[in-house]
Amino acid sequence: MANEVPALGGLPHVLSGKVRDLYDAGDDRLFFVASDRISAFDHVLASTIPDKGKVLTQISLFWFDHLREIVPNHLITASIDSYPPALRAYRDQLQGRSMLVRRARMVPVECVARGYLSGSGWKDYQRDGAVCGIKLPAGLRESDRLPEPIFTPAAKNHTGHDENIGFDAVVAAVGAPLAEHLRELTLRIYAKASEHAESKGLILADTKFEFGFVPGSDLHGTLAAHGQAADGDVLVLADEVLTPDSSRYWLASGYAPGGAQPSFDKQFVRDYLLSIRWNQQPPAPALPDEVVAQTRAKYLQAFELLTGQPLKV
């Protein structure tokens, strides 16, 4: 079937996720545009949240910079004046919610770090007393802080839920040296990010990273000291980074283990969808204006808490 999503400024559409659209910018570059779409219970809702795409993009850009001493990344630029000329005609549509990145050879594993027991980790713990084959102490409650953060990888499942896998499966997929590097790097990034979040009154319960390899010479003209493959390619942090869509953030002031914690950004949406007893089947319902406004405010608050700056809308 012909691609239903039109090209953007002559850049062919590559794929779309629930929130972001990806285009081929040529010369081994990709172009991301983050929409204001919002998903809940695995469905994209009929309503959008104004400025959500800008918030998520700006949070990723903040973390790329904050983590630059730990890990290089795939970003080329988020400045419209540096985009391919044909895109500059879309300045109003792209401002603040887009980025030009290096096309990477993506690692086929979702690299998840967990500091707390929640979501699929809680479900796996209840069944096995372990998460991704990592045995945990008995008697943990939902949302409990783990004795130490753990690496809980997942297989990329493009249809729906990613499937938690053991470290051995990562080794089988990418080899032991890279598997060990991914685990160490994922946990190191998580430690730095959760320390920053905590200093801002937020708990970073868990987060998902995606990594890929780019030619070493492409990386700002310098070779990175670590994460270098034998062929000279360099491992970079890609995709979205430590956003409320790829992470669980909780307000530290309201933290109460023993049950599910309110989602920092989507609780108003979830509560509304539960209140109308939606059967979680398409078509996903629209949201009342008040829920849209409250949710937008939470995204702006997340950005301001994490960065210390108000979002330029």
Under the rule (CB under 6 A), what is the footprint of ligand Q0N?
15, 17, 20, 22, 30, 74, 101-104, 106, 210, 212, 238-239
For residue 61, give both structure tokens: 């850009």
* Sequence-ordered list of residues with C-beta below 8 angstroms from that of 51, at least 6 positions apart, any chain: 36, 296, 299, 300, 311, 313
> Would you say 206 or 240 has its CB closer to ligand Q0N?
240
Shortest distance, CB of residue 165 to ligand Q0N, whole angstroms? 17
Q: Given CA atoms 268, 272, 274, 278 in this order, what sign does their dihedral have? A: negative
> Would you say 60 or 261 has its CB closer to ligand Q0N?
60
> Would you say 140 or 236 has its CB closer to ligand Q0N?
236
What residue type is 299 in one-letter code?
A: Y
> Would you say 64 or 125 has its CB closer to ligand Q0N?
64
Taking CB positions, which residue lies at the least distance from ligand Q0N?
17
Shortest distance, CB of residue 265 to ligand Q0N, whole angstroms? 18
Shortest distance, CB of residue 255 to ligand Q0N, whole angstroms? 29
Shortest distance, CB of residue 158 to ligand Q0N, whole angstroms? 9
Shortest distance, CB of residue 308 to ligand Q0N, whole angstroms? 26
> Would you say 141 or 220 has its CB closer to ligand Q0N?
220
- Separation of alpha carbons 57 and 125, rounded Å: 33
> Would you say 102 or 248 has its CB closer to ligand Q0N?
102
Shortest distance, CB of residue 74 to ligand Q0N, whole angstroms? 4
> Would you say 110 or 142 has its CB closer to ligand Q0N?
110
Integer-rounded Cα Rg, in Å, for the chain is: 19
Place of tokens 């929640």: 118
Shortest distance, CB of residue 104 to ligand Q0N, whole angstroms? 4
For residue 123, give both structure tokens: 């479900």
For residue 36, give both structure tokens: 């204001």
